[in-house]
Amino acid sequence: MSNKQKHSFQAEVAQVLHLVTHSLYSHPEIFLRELISNASDACDKLRFEALHDPALYGDQPQLEVRISFDKEARTLTVTDTGIGMSEQEAIDNLGTIAKSGTRAFAAKLSGDDKADSQLIGQFGVGFYAGFIVADKMTVESRRAGLPPEQGVRWVSDGSGDFEVETITRAERGTSVILHLRDDALEFADGWRLKELIGKYSDHISLPIKMEGEKWEEAEQEGQPGRMVKTGEWETVNQANALWTRPKKDVTDEQYVQFYEQLAHDWQPPLAWTHNRVEGSTEYTQLLYLPSHAPMDMWDRDRRTGVKLYVKRVFIMDDAEQLLPRYLRFVKGVVDSADLPLNVSRELLQESRDVKIIREGNTRRVLALLEDLAKAPAGEQPAEGAEAKTDGDQAPADKYATFWREFGAVLKEGLGEDTGNRERLLKLVRYASTQSDTPTVGLADYKARMKEGQKAIYYITADTLAAAKNSPQLEIFRKKGIEVLLMTDRVDEWSLGFVREFDGTPLQSVAKGAVDLGDLQDEAEKKAAEEAAEAVKPVLDRLKAALKDQVEDVRVTTRLVDSPACLVVKDAGMSMQLARMLKQAGQDVPQTKPVLEINPEHPLVKKLEGSAHFDDLAHILFDQALLAEGGLPDDPAAYVRRVNALLV
Ligand code: ADP
Ligand code: MG
């Protein structure tokens, strides 16, 4: 009796299959990494479910992966004793892609096989990598807890559809049987497989077993001998969790390999820190700084972040309680001896131990960053964390890389983590009027401050060009005073939490009146006062003309080449932030800016006695708005006024 059912692959799967077989064939070996990773996931899942229901183990307590091959039959089989799949699960999990990642996956394919082959595991489509080497895949499985006669066989040749039938399977777990293509027979070889397991899967914390082989001489003289199976299964990987080994026993290469598997990232990490923490709460942490931001930020389900283990039992992916949000780029493992095995996400939120671990993790990551940033002499040394790094990038270059990829995320910490704000302030970097790249630290800035300068000046804008060309910078540029140029969306918000750095206040050049204090000499001050006096009658008329647009009109010394600019009052929200919030659909309290005018500018001088005073006043205001990235409320009126003057 046949109970075979035919199913079609979800359209996206068919697309992935096509990609797999047509673009990844030059790196066929990655299929093994993916299948072993799935086997390992399946064992983790069983271990976890069995915490609540130990009966799931049945009479097979052993969790393991077995890899076997048959040269004659041209098959390679990866078997695990993990959670297995029911018939419906096989249909769902192997016939559809749950996450809507396929399109993005396809879009990322670059045509460079090496890079592309690294993508496949990141997008939750690893299973299909089997079709790189197989023209047919058979999956036989039985879910833990189901009786032997509720096993399932899933078969597909990787084109449009797959077949599913009920089978009897004695063992819990899954066997993936690859029917190797002619050009993939190299994988039906014990040496080759062991080599690949060593390369990709050494740190799977589960034994990977292969049947032993021995050389057998031919019975007839003159005939070649052959390898025969001994019937003994031997473990071919290290099979112990890397983080439990003492640091001195782990090579840099092993750390990097472990990272690659953990993070599904085939570019080496920038640095890592590995510590066993003892005290009231005991735990092991192995935390990595990736060298690039993930390509699939869009996929909120992606398993990243820090994995939580309790006494080596995998508990959950992406345990967001273990690090503050502003360190969400960190990947790694935390293994705690103190948490209960049945810990849930809800419980994590309340646990005192988790709070301690989170603080410990934060300290370590910051110390790691401080090491890379190479805090100048005189700073307190990073507390015992040793930044282990890979490759030959100098630490300073690594920090620049880190900052480029994750700096904007780290800055969120200025607002979120009051306790570590001081440390974070030493880690932040900005562009400035002296550097187009964000490499200027606040300490660097302070060291370059002019005599008599009392504040660290900064400006926020949407783009570097807008920041650099802002009229508000004119006087600073003239006097050679450095101004930090901030263009990340988070800057304005995060600096709202920062009053000062190392005793020096931070001052936005777009907020409040400029008081360059001692930076101005007596002659300059006097000239400014005289000019202000002369322009006074104009001020009142401007105020009247622009009363709907501005809070106040005043004279400034900050402008050199521009006639006017807009600023907000000291405590006000910058106009840039207000615009940003408005774009994000938020209610922004309507605050009017202050119009500052340059009394020395010909246009301003021309105002008095002009027959077009009103038009000029509005043009002045609209241009100031344009100059700092805004748009006139009524652009058509602006154009009309300017044209009227032009003709
Ligand atoms: P991912 O592992 O990222 O989820 P895969 O394409 O590698 O994506 O696997 C798809 C799904 O198939 C898995 O999520 C899992 O539900 C199921 N699966 C694959 N291999 C196994 C296995 N050995 N045991 C149990 N389930 C499996
Ligand atoms: Mg997988």
Range of weakest confidence among 68-72, 85-89, 282-286, 295-299: 295-299
Quote the pLDDT of residue 301.
47
Range of weakest confidence among 334-338, 389-393, 450-454: 389-393
Q: Is the CB of 122 under 6 A from ligand 1?
A: no
Is the domain of 91 the same as that of 206?
yes
Is the domain of 376 the same as that of 249?
yes
| Structure confidence by residue, pLDDT tens digits, 362-372 | 999 999 999 99
Residue 325: inside a domain, yes or no? yes
Quote the pLDDT of residue 154.
98
Is the domain of 116 the same as that of 187?
yes
Structure tokens at 405: 């990829």
Is the domain of 235 the same as that of 252?
no
Residue 457: inside a domain, yes or no? no
Whichever domain contains 330, its CATH number is 3.30.230.80
- Residue ending a domain, among 400, 434, 469, is 400
**Between the ranges 120-129, 295-304, 344-353, where is the mean pLDDT highest?**
344-353
Quote the pLDDT of residue 251.
93
Q: How confident is the model at residue 591 (pLDDT cuts 50, 70, 90)?
A: confident
Across the chain, mean pLDDT equals 85
Residue 99 has pLDDT above 60, yes or no: no
Global pTM value: 0.71
- Residue ending a domain, among 383, 400, 417, is 400
Is the domain of 154 the same as that of 198?
yes
Mutate to test the pocket of ligand 1, among 9, 100, 127 (most ligand atoms within 8 A of CB): 127
Quote the pLDDT of residue 172.
97
Mutate to test the pocket of ligand 1, among 10, 32, 38, 119 (most ligand atoms within 8 A of CB): 38
**Between the ranges 18-32, 289-303, 612-626, where is the mean pLDDT highest?**
612-626
**Closest Cα to atom 16 of ligand 1:** 93
Please report, as a single letter, which amino acid is at residue 59: D
Whole-angstrom Cα distance, residue 93 to residue 85?
9
Residue 491: inside a domain, yes or no? no
Residue 425 has pLDDT above 80, yes or no: yes
Cβ–Cβ contacts within 10 Å for residue 132, how many?
Answer: 25
Phi, then psi, of 544 in degrees rounded to 5 = -65, -45
| Structure confidence by residue, pLDDT tens digits, 532-571 | 888 888 888 999 999 998 989 988 888 888 899 888 876 6
Is the domain of 53 the same as that of 105?
yes
Expressed in angstroms and rounded, the spacing between residue 102 Cα and the centre of ligand 1 is 15
| Structure confidence by residue, pLDDT tens digits, 594-638 | 899 988 888 888 888 888 888 999 999 999 888 877 888 889 999
Is the domain of 189 the same as that of 280?
no
Whole-angstrom Cα distance, residue 46 to residue 56?
8
Residue 103 has pLDDT above 70, yes or no: no
Is the domain of 327 the same as that of 388?
yes
**Closest Cα to atom 14 of ligand 1:** 93
**Which atom in ligand 1 lies closest to the alpha carbon of residue 176?**
23
Residue 302 has pLDDT above 50, yes or no: no
Residue 389 has pLDDT above 50, yes or no: no
Q: Which residues contact 528 (CB under 8 A, 6 or more apart)?
A: 520, 555, 557, 599
Q: To the nearest whole percent, how much of the chain has pLDDT over 90?
A: 45
Residue 507: inside a domain, yes or no? no
How many residues are present in the chain? 647
Q: What is the DSSP letter of 568?
A: B
Is the domain of 154 the same as that of 62?
yes
Q: Is the CB of 154 under 6 A from ligand 1?
A: no
Residue 9 has pLDDT above 50, yes or no: yes
Whichever domain contains 204, its CATH number is 3.30.565.10
Quote the pLDDT of residue 412.
92
| Structure confidence by residue, pLDDT tens digits, 215-246 | 888 888 888 888 888 889 999 988 788 999 99
Quote the pLDDT of residue 345.
77
Is the domain of 43 the same as that of 189?
yes
Whole-angstrom Cα distance, residue 471 to residue 582?
24
**Between the ranges 297-306, 397-406, 590-599, where is the mean pLDDT highest?**
397-406
Residue 374 has pLDDT above 70, yes or no: yes
Residue 432: inside a domain, yes or no? no
Whole-angstrom Cα distance, residue 305 to residue 18?
31
Residue 611's domain comprises 520-569+586-646
Expressed in angstroms and rounded, the spacing between residue 35 Cα and the centre of ligand 2 is 7
**Closest-lying ligand to the alpha carbon of 129?**
1
Is the domain of 197 the same as that of 68?
yes
Residue 115: inside a domain, yes or no? yes
Instruction: Tally the domains of the chain.
Output: 3
Residue 592: inside a domain, yes or no? yes
Whichever domain contains 615, its CATH number is 1.20.120.790
Q: What value does the mean pLDDT take over residues 262-269?
A: 86
Is the domain of 119 the same as that of 178?
yes
Expressed in angstroms and rounded, the spacing between residue 52 Cα and the centre of ligand 1 is 22
Whole-angstrom Cα distance, residue 378 to residue 397?
21
Residue 112 has pLDDT above 80, yes or no: no
Is 406 in contact with 372 (CB distance < 8 Å)?
Answer: no
Structure tokens at 497: 């939490």
Quote the pLDDT of residue 201.
77
Q: What value does the mean pLDDT take over residues 160-177?
A: 96
Residue 408: inside a domain, yes or no? no
Quote the pLDDT of residue 114.
58
